[in-house]
């Protein structure tokens, strides 16, 4: 294992310290916690998300005006504890309530729900949206139902924009539940990721192998096979997405190609270009596009393709400027 770290036990603490030191105009740290909050003043429903670290820039990179109010950084690939989430809720409460955006992993769901109960005892109105955009497998390691992956970032962006415009907790929660049903993702891996305290990759692929449907913690996908061209990879993933969306020529969608951490942007742009060409042949209109590393898996080589069904409001909210480190 070769990593630029000090003590493997301290990587998250040192990462959070470095993050807030590098970007004080965007974020600050709640003392004695691994919670990162907005450093500006605001008056709206607070949006709190988070999860295990190792997915940077998710989620702390999306804290700021127009997106999240706070991100809770758990240990690497480990759900944050209820008390840390509770501190995030308290630190960002402006008297208008809090919306929790939770990726569908058993530990995250349980701990965020416990924090919600603690906050409600303080008379803070809290509701939640559960993101389960990964259509690759129905049940996997750490989940009941589908996993929450890169599509979570689009949920942050859209609900963050709505919160900025003054929407209430019930309005955000109700809209969010509908929104996540129209965001779908499939990922692919070329190599595994190494958790610093473990010291070896979570899985190993042969030099000529890829795995379709792998999760952002290295959870198994649905098939391993010999490496394919970018076009063939895009063709398979788009086929999976089409089966879920059942789209028609003329429909409006967004296309988001996300890197897993070690894949060069060169390759992500090639994959995007092929996916866009396939969708053009389907007759779809792409009103939002994005390419880059937004929901990573440490140094995993791979990518995911996310699509979102758009209307005028979603298109507007996705394309609005925000003040965050990573968007």
Active-site positions? 55, 217
CA dist 117 → 5, 111, 161, 285 (Å) = 36, 10, 26, 43
Three-state DSSP at 142 gives coil
Residue 183: strand, helix, or coil: strand
Residues in the chain: 327
Report d(CA 9, CA 295) in Å as an integer.
22
How many Å apart are CA 288 and CA 255, to the nearest integer?
Answer: 6
The CA distances from residue 67 to 46, 59, 177, 199, 317, in Å, are 10, 10, 17, 34, 10
User: Using an 8 Å Cβ cutoff, are 153 and 131 in contact?
Assistant: no
Contact yes or no for 35/55 (Cβ under 8 A): no
Per the DSSP assignment, residues forming a β-bridge with 209 are 226
Q: Comparing C-alpha atoms, which of 65, 19, 13 is closest to residue 43?
A: 65
Contact criterion met (CB below 8 Å) for 38 and 65:
yes
> Residues near 226 by Cβ (< 8 Å), separated by ≥ 6?
208, 209, 210
Give the separation between CA 107 and CA 315, rounded to whole angstroms.
32
φ/ψ of 93, rounded to 5, equals: -70, 125
**Helix and strand element counts for the chain (H, E):** 8, 12
């Amino acid at each position: 294992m070769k990593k630029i770290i000090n003590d493997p036990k301290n990587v998250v603490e040192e990462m959070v310290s470095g993050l807030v030191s590098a970007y004080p105009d965007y974020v600050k740290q709640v003392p004695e916690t691994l919670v990162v909050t907005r450093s500006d003043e605001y008056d709206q429903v607070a949006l709190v998300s988070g999860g295990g670290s190792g997915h940077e820039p998710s989620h702390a990179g999306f804290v700021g005006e127009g997106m999240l109010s706070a991100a809770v950084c758990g240990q690497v690939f480990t759900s944050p504890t209820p008390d840390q989430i509770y501190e995030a809720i308290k630190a960002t409460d402006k008297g208008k309530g809090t919306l929790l955006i939770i990726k569908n992993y058993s530990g995250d769901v349980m701990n965020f729900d416990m924090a919600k109960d603690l906050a409600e005892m303080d008379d803070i109105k809290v509701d939640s949206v559960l993101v389960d955009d990964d259509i690759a497998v129905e049940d996997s390691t750490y989940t009941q139902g589908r996993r929450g992956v890169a599509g979570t970032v689009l949920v942050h962006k859209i609900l963050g924009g709505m919160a900025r415009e003054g929407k209430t907790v019930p309005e955000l929660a109700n809209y969010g539940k509908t929104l996540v049903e129209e965001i779908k993702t499939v990922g692919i891996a070329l190599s595994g990721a190494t958790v610093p305290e473990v010291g070896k990759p979570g899985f190993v692929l042969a030099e000529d192998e890829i795995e379709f449907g792998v999760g952002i913690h290295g959870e198994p996908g649905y098939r391993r096979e010999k490496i394919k061209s970018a076009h063939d990879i895009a063709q398979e993933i788009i086929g999976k997405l089409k089966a879920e969306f059942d789209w028609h020529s003329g429909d409006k969608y967004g296309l988001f190609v996300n890197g897993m951490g070690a894949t060069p942007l060169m390759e992500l742009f090639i994959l995007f270009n092929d996916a866009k060409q396939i969708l053009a042949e389907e007759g779809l209109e792409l009103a939002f596009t994005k390419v880059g590393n937004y929901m990573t898996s440490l140094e995993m080589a791979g990518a995911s393709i996310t699509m979102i069904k758009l209307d005028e409001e979603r298109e507007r909210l996705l394309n609005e400027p925000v003040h965050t480190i990573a968007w």
